[in-house]
Structure 1
Amino acid sequence: MKLNRFFIPACLILLVHTGAAAQSVGKPKLVINIVISQMRYEYLERFRDNFSENGFRTYLDSGVNFTNARCNYMQTNTVAGLATLSTGTNPAGHGVASESWYNYTTNDSINLIADDKVKGLDCEEGENRFSPLNLTAATLGDRLHESDPKSKVVAVAEDPYSAVISGGSTGSAFWLDPGKGQWVSSSYYFENLPFWVKKYNEKRFASSLLDREWVPDKSFAAYKNTDTTVLNFSARPSGFKNFFRSILKIFKKEPEKYDLASLLYTPFGNMLVTDFAREAIILEELGKDDHTDLLTVCYDSPRLICEYFGPQSIEVEDMYYKLDREIGELTGFVQAQFKPGEVVLVLTSDHGSSNTYREQSRIPGGQFNVDQFKLIMNGFLSAQYEPGNWILGYSSRQLYLNREMIYKYGFNLAEVQARAAAFALQFRGVSGALTSTDLQSGAFGRGYGEKIQNSFYPKRSGDVVINLMPGWIEQREHAVSLSGSLYEYDTHIPLLFLGSGVPAAAVERDVELSDVAPTLARIMQIPLPDAVTGKVLEEVVK
């Protein structure tokens, strides 16, 4: 009896100790953010049965799936989403709400990443002069590098905006030059393009893809979607390349210069990213020492394909089945390079997308003509005050007024803004309008006002911010689906964690894109980025 009395508590202590040890996970050697641009959460469920075992389903079955992750702001575009992901705060905190804005003092248009003080590396003169000059908040990568200068921060993306924002101020960034079909960077990051990148470009992988055809993976009946534009399901598919060469006039211009633009509108754009990301992991020796490294891999082709064909198209669905294999190859490659517990992978998106715009559709929706809006608004203000150029510009649902004229004539800025906002409500497709004065002086605790305020950055935002009705998008040539709204289709995104100590679970509570950076900071055991407002996702770090 004495043996049993002491044996049971001892066993309990041993079990508790063993369980605690099993849950104790050290810092990962490598953290990878995989960002699929313009991916709705619903794709994971809608296409799940046709996904392979090794791609998206690996994250769904073996990782933490946050089923209700959203962007809690209105301007759901790529630059805002990536900045939110990397800084852990909304656009109101990091200041990146659009690719460009206007300086009210000089009336100049300012581009987010354009920098005349740097030069593009291994590209045509004057091209790819990009840097993080106009980023205002430190990123997760910046904080990692500050905590450990030997840690590496690398960003890979087709689009220079995606690469520069993800790389932050202290990391390195690589993006595609659509002229030559090569991976490039700028003198902000390197004196010369790294030798391994030069050698990689010599393979001319992009040019080898120009002669391939986009052939559907499945029979027509196997797809969930039904709209199709260029994919041919006849016995002899005509392919995708001829469509773009005849309609968009995209073709090989010179023997030594290739136009990559056509590839970015096909699944081959995703292939380019996966292949280069693998090369970066190997030749940058990411995760090969005790200093945690951070890699961000952005797939921009899904956004371009969705904008052109729409989320109800077979082209988008087929692209996701091919991307599923790319994700599987990249994930499998990473897992083969490291021991269990050494890598954490995050799979998410910068934003979703609107439904496919169809002129004859019975579902409410439409296209908002920005040029017409500016022209009529200028005429209205000229009639109300003095004839002149009252509109400085428009960007991402923001109207910029010519404040120089307002001050010149001694008009009240708040009054002019209020009249412009009231008149904006008369336009078809506009459901709401708020002025910068309203957004600075008031606090919106819920509704569309809160989401607009979460996107508002006083030094860069417009005088009047408009919200379009559900289903409405800004009119753009060759685009039937866009993002940029505060509605479910634009804000509900995938967010999944896989790897080091991460349990398999589906979490239904509401979380935000801004929660990723503080969660990864906790996992990497570094201080939070400076502007963080998001919360640590306890389901991942327990």
Structure 2
Amino acid sequence: MGIVIDQMRYDYLTRFADRYSEDGFQRLLQEGFSLENAHYSLIPTYTAVGHATIFTGTSPSDHGIISNNWYDKYAKKEIYCVDDFQYQTIGNDSNDGKKSPHRMLTTTITDQLHLSQNMKGKIIGIAIKDRSAILPAGHTANGAYWFSGSNFGQWVSSSFYMDALPNWVNEFNNSNKNDSYLSHPWETLYDLNTYTQSIADNNAFEDLFAGEQTPTFPHDVPNLKKNNDNYSLIKAIPAGNTMTADFAKAAIIGEQLGKSEFTDFLTISFSSTDYIGHQYGPASVEIEDTYLRLDKDLADLFQTLDSEVGKGNYSLFLTADHAAVHVPSYLQSLKIPAHYFRQKDFIAYLSTLTQKYFQSDQLIENVSNYQIFLNQLVVESLGLDKNTVAQKLADEVINYDGIYKAVTARTLQTNPFSEGILNSLQNGYNQKFSGDVMLVPYPATLSRGKTGTSHGSGYSYDTHVPIIFYGNGFKKGTSAKKYDIIDIAPTIANVLQIEAPNSTTGKVVSEALQK
């Protein structure tokens, strides 16, 4: 089983450790093997990129998932990582299920397991977010399921996988459980005064739910539901993680996972941690409470595995798709360097550059994900060389306040960077899909308002995540050696004694293995 916790910083394991139960995170830490210095060596650190990287064992340069959304320079439009309109939603009449993993160009560890068993055994992916269910489950999954919010409040899938939902999914959707998660206020699990790992509950650095006056407990979920897109509100509260764990337990029982002679693989991504993290930031009481509640959800999930599969009869890993920066305005209040980047102003600046040096304001086709895409047709019509234009822009934009580094596609294609932020930039660069100039902002920079936080950089606050291996095939222990997220897939392949995914560039974490 692969567990991914969306936006989990490594220090959430240590900051809240004394309040975790013995059966949740502590069980994994005490009985599993924890990599304490594991990182992403790529940019951007976004949800889709992280999930694809974990399960393929390689970087966007190979697997092709270069962001959540990105500019398609062939179709001349922005695309979403798992959109696939040749398929239909299975479960309701929304567009939420028109998805597939077709943009991920390599196999996953889940694909390789299926291939090794001649498509025997079951592969199931589960997450509130579609991309977090689809990409880990791979191309050959028996099913991937995600949550359709708004006025639906149902778990759905895609006709890529199936023609109809299994009975156990229909039973879950029809049980009214999805209503129960929104039936009571979000109050702190323990007395608010005991949340000593957080800043004051009422502060200027957190976003509000629509209808709230302050970002403080209790959050009146039943009354907030109407103004916060109805069932979609569940994504942004800890109950969304509880719902995900409950749905995963239903899958274990409904699919009879672990009961046959073949190996099954369940992937679970807990998405609510990301929504809550974006809204409140790492220093918030809300984040502390969310992880204390998630700890209990994990304990319940592990107990279900013990009873249904048998302790010692399963293996799992737990990691994150990225971490997050402290809210920059909060860092600024502490006199720590932090920044906000206004893309609209930067695009206007680019226009003045191209007008000044090339007598045209039509050379830039798109700016997104800190990438500049040139308009190839305009470049050629003016008799210009694309690489010359790109290099001039890279040389000039470094003078723009907020841009810390700028590198052309040609530089990334011809010069290997073995370490540091430019190595991460290179690993995230895909020659076929990426832009012509790649940009790196200052550390602790966000393009958003001054409340809440985000992620996406190659700096350590976004790259340092937990990796814990647990169960059959793994020993107890810890390691402070530096490992990369791409090392998970080949390590799991070694335990399963199967071929690693077809573009894997990671290494086996041999010190975690029970030999």
TM-score, scaled to structure 2: 0.92
Q: 1:183-194 residue pairs with structure 2 within 5 A?
A: 183-194=155-166
Compute the displacement of 1:448 (Å).
1.5
In structure 2, the CA distance between the partners of 1:444 and 1:492, relative to structure 1 (3 Å rule), is same
Compute the displacement of 1:478 (Å).
8.0
**Larger-gyration structure (1/2):** 1
What is aligned with 1:60? 29
- Say whether residues 1:285 and 2:256 are aligned partners: yes
**The one of 332, 341, 344 aligned to 2:303:** 332
- Paired with 2:343 and 2:284, the residues of 1 have a C-alpha distance of 26
Q: 2:39·2:484 contact (CA, 8 Å) conserved in 1?
A: yes
Compute the displacement of 1:126 (Å).
3.6
- Paired with 1:501 and 1:441, the residues of 2 have a C-alpha distance of 41
SS across alignment from 1:494: strand
Q: 2:121·2:264 contact (CA, 8 Å) conserved in 1?
A: yes
- Say whether residues 1:144 and 2:116 are aligned partners: no
Q: 1:107·1:402 contact (CA, 8 Å) conserved in 2?
A: no
What is aligned with 1:20? none
What is aligned with 2:205? none
After superposition, give the CA deviation of every residue in 1:93-148 in whole Å (9 maximum; x if it has no partner): 21212023333344233332111111111222544211112110111111111111
**The one of 449, 457, 474 aligned to 2:447:** 474
- Say whether residues 1:374 and 2:347 are aligned partners: yes
- State which drifts further: 101-110 or 173-182: 101-110
- Say whether residues 1:341 and 2:312 are aligned partners: yes
Compute the displacement of 1:406 (Å).
1.1
What letter matches 1:75 in structure 2?
A: P
Compute the displacement of 1:472 (Å).
0.9
Q: 2:7·2:274 contact (CA, 8 Å) conserved in 1?
A: yes
What is aligned with 2:139? 169
**The one of 379, 382, 406 aligned to 1:433:** 406
Compute the displacement of 1:336 (Å).
2.1
**The one of 507, 527, 530 aligned to 2:502:** 530
- Paired with 1:379 and 1:417, the residues of 2 have a C-alpha distance of 15
What letter matches 2:228 in structure 1?
A: I
Q: 1:96·1:135 contact (CA, 8 Å) conserved in 2?
A: yes
What is aligned with 2:168? 196
What is aligned with 1:308? 279
- Paired with 2:482 and 2:20, the residues of 1 have a C-alpha distance of 26
Q: 1:69·1:512 contact (CA, 8 Å) conserved in 2?
A: yes
After superposition, give the CA deviation of every residue in 1:156-183 in whole Å (9 maximum; x if it has no partner): 0000111111111111210000121110
- Say whether residues 1:355 and 2:326 are aligned partners: yes
- Paired with 1:391 and 1:118, the residues of 2 have a C-alpha distance of 34
What is aligned with 1:70? 39
SS across alignment from 1:392: strand
SS across alignment from 2:120: coil
After superposition, give the CA deviation of every residue in 1:379-428 in whole Å (9 maximum; x if it has no partner): 32133324343332233222222222112222110111112222322332
What is aligned with 1:207? 179
- Paired with 1:111 and 1:35, the residues of 2 have a C-alpha distance of 21
In structure 2, the CA distance between the partners of 1:487 and 1:134, relative to structure 1 (3 Å rule), is same
- Say whether residues 1:250 and 2:250 are aligned partners: no
Compute the displacement of 1:284 (Å).
1.1
- Paired with 1:373 and 1:142, the residues of 2 have a C-alpha distance of 42
SS across alignment from 1:433: strand
Sequence identity (%): 32
- Paired with 1:313 and 1:302, the residues of 2 have a C-alpha distance of 12
- State which drifts further: 187-196 or 478-487: 478-487
SS across alignment from 2:392: helix
What is aligned with 1:93? 62
Q: 2:253·2:308 contact (CA, 8 Å) conserved in 1?
A: no
**The one of 215, 231, 239 aligned to 2:219:** 239
In structure 2, the CA distance between the partners of 1:391 and 1:250, relative to structure 1 (3 Å rule), is same
Compute the displacement of 1:340 (Å).
3.7
- Paired with 2:347 and 2:217, the residues of 1 have a C-alpha distance of 44
SS across alignment from 2:21: coil
TM-score, scaled to structure 1: 0.88
- Say whether residues 1:506 and 2:475 are aligned partners: no
SS across alignment from 2:89: coil
**The one of 77, 84, 106 aligned to 2:53:** 84
Compute the displacement of 1:480 (Å).
2.2
- Alignment gaps of 5+ in structure 1: 1-31, 252-258
Q: 2:476·2:512 contact (CA, 8 Å) conserved in 1?
A: no
**The one of 403, 406, 420 aligned to 2:376:** 403
Q: 1:90·1:455 contact (CA, 8 Å) conserved in 2?
A: yes
SS across alignment from 1:185: strand
- Say whether residues 1:521 and 2:501 are aligned partners: no
- State which drifts further: 404-413 or 371-380: 371-380
After superposition, give the CA deviation of every residue in 1:470-523 in whole Å (9 maximum; x if it has no partner): 111222x58621111111111110011111142211111111111111111111
- Say whether residues 1:483 and 2:455 are aligned partners: yes
Compute the displacement of 1:527 (Å).
1.1
Q: 1:152·1:294 contact (CA, 8 Å) conserved in 2?
A: yes
SS across alignment from 1:154: strand
In structure 2, the CA distance between the partners of 1:479 and 1:78, relative to structure 1 (3 Å rule), is farther
Compute the displacement of 1:453 (Å).
0.5
In structure 2, the CA distance between the partners of 1:132 and 1:339, relative to structure 1 (3 Å rule), is same
What letter matches 2:322 in structure 1?
A: H
- Say whether residues 1:37 and 2:10 are aligned partners: no
Q: 1:181·1:204 contact (CA, 8 Å) conserved in 2?
A: no
What is aligned with 1:225? 198
Q: 1:76·1:350 contact (CA, 8 Å) conserved in 2?
A: yes
- Paired with 1:166 and 1:528, the residues of 2 have a C-alpha distance of 14
- Paired with 1:260 and 1:423, the residues of 2 have a C-alpha distance of 47
What is aligned with 1:159? 129
Compute the displacement of 1:330 (Å).
0.6
In structure 2, the CA distance between the partners of 1:478 and 1:124, relative to structure 1 (3 Å rule), is farther
SS across alignment from 1:161: helix
Number of residue equivalences? 499
